[in-house]
Chains A and B, each alone.
Chain A
Amino acid sequence: MENKVNIYVVVPAYNEENTISDVITNLKNNNYKNIIVIDDGSTDSTYKIAKENKTIVIKHPINLGAGAAVKTGTDYALSIGADIIIIFDADGQHMAKDINNLIKPIINKEVDVTLGSRFLDKKSNVPLLKKIILKGGVVLVFLMYGILLTDAHNGLKALSRKAAERIIINARGWEYCSEIIEEIKIKKIKYKEIPVTIKYSSYSIKKGQKIYNSLNIFLKMIKKWLIE
């Protein structure tokens, strides 16, 4: 039965020439062949490298942000008949072997969305400062949407076709993570958190979300709340 399910992995990438090749190889080695890389207007050779690795590469003409890239990827995956869409960061912090655990509850029709969480088991070695910021995000998401997660800003997620069609991402930047949670809450989509491991290399820490970014996400959430 599993063979009939069309699984597409959406990889939003912005200037990730150092890691994109490893990320794609890692996914392919774990038998995820349908990879859609969204090059979000990179100025380095991300596009070229992704193309060389024989994946579908969609290039934004200009840099739009992670949220916009994810939406482009999911829209395209839906248009070519994906049953399950995985969102997988391009900076090499996720493990392709975790995907299997993410898709199982969706294939078994238990839930429509699975969210990766680095805090459900002890395998990820989360730096203290990062942990404080992430837990702050958890509290914020709980206060704003009333959903208590263990890890609200994890890039690794899986959506069923039904969920991907219903969840509408308007956020352009990293705040799309919170937006997905908001959509899950509003549209009463069934979800589950799945333990995943985050690899903290010095590279991914440097590239990953900084304190400034977290503040920015917070401000954008407030802005969205004000406008609507």
Chain B
Amino acid sequence: MIKPIQVIAIVFGIFALLKVILKMKNRKLLLNEFIFWSSIWAALIILSIFPQISEKIANFFGFTRGIDFFIVSSILLMFYLIFRIFIKLEELENKITKLSRSIAIKEIANNINKT
């Protein structure tokens, strides 16, 4: 019997997957990003349709319930993604700083040449 939560997860997964495919079509995603996100949403859909699979995987890793495995792995994945964003942001800020500095120094050099 299909539970309401499964339906919600499947609908959400399909919606997200469509969004990813659409973005790929408009060339807003890189290939590796596309593979990463589409496999995540595809996994969500498959595991929602066949919860037995998640149960099997969960048992393999030592969880009794499939949902426990699902939540724990989601949290881990989220932490990893947040860390990636954190690093990326740091890199971006560094780049902006360097860019602004070179603009500022270029400007002063131009001003001195003029006078």
Chain A binding surface SS class:
mixed
Q: A61-B103, A227-B87, A227-B90 are in contact. Are A56 and B97 (CB under 8 A)?
A: no
Interface residues on B, range: 10 to 19
Given known contacts A64-B97, A68-B97, A172-B97, A76 and B105 CB-to-CB distance under 8 angstroms: yes
Within 8 A of B (CB), among A52-101: 56-62, 64, 68, 71-72, 75-76, 79
Shortest CB distance B85–A (Å):
13
Q: Check if A59 sits within 8 Å of B104, measured CB to CB.
A: yes
Residues from chain A with a CB closer than 8 A to the CB of B101 are: 60, 64, 68, 71-72, 75
- Assess the A61–B100 pair: CB atoms within 8 A: yes
- State whether A64 and B94 are in contact (beta carbons under 8 Å apart), knowing that A58-B105, A227-B87 are contacts in the complex: no
Q: Give the CA-CA distance A41 to B90 in the complex, in Å.
A: 20
Closest chain-A Cβ to B87's Cβ sits at a distance in Å of 7
- The contact of A62 among B87, B94, B100, B107, by CB within 8 Å, is B100
In this complex, the interface size class of chain A, counting residues with CB under 8 Å from chain B, is 10 to 19
User: Chain B 88-107, CB within 8 Å of chain A: the 1/0 string?
Assistant: 00100110110011011101
Tell me, yes or no, whether A170 is within 8 Å of chain B by CB: yes
Query: A58 is contacted by which of B87, B93, B108 (Cβ under 8 Å)?
Result: B108
Q: Which residues of B contact A68 (CB under 8 A)?
A: 97, 100-101
Instruction: Kindly list chain A residues whose C-beta atoms are within 8 Å of the C-beta of B100.
Output: 41, 60-62, 64, 68
Chain B residue numbers with a CB within 8 Å of A170 are 94
Q: Which of B94, B97, B104, B105 has the most CB of A within 10 A?
A: B104
Of A62, A64, A76, which is within 8 A of B108 by CB? A76
Least distance between A66 CB and chain B CB atoms (Å):
12
Residue in A closest to B101 when the chains form the complex, CB atoms: A72
**Chain B residue nearest to A67 in the complex (CB):** B97
| Complex partner residue of A61 from B90, B93, B104, CB under 8 angstroms | B104
- How distant is the Cα of A114 from the Cα of B97 in the complex, in angstroms? 27
Are A172 and B93 in contact, CB atoms less than 8 angstroms apart?
yes
8 A Cβ contacts from B38-91 to A: 87, 90
Given A71-B101, A79-B105, 18 more contacts at CB 8 Å? A41-B100, A57-B108, A58-B104, A58-B107, A58-B108, A59-B104, A59-B107, A60-B100, A61-B100, A61-B103, A61-B104, A62-B100, A64-B101, A68-B97, A68-B100, A68-B101, A76-B108, A227-B87
Q: Which residues of B contact A (CB under 8 A)?
A: 87, 90, 93-94, 96-97, 100-101, 103-105, 107-108
| 6 tightest A-B CB contacts, nearest first | A58-B104, A58-B108, A72-B101, A68-B97, A60-B100, A60-B104
7 interchain pairs (CB within 8 A)?
A38-B104, A57-B108, A60-B104, A64-B96, A64-B101, A68-B101, A172-B97
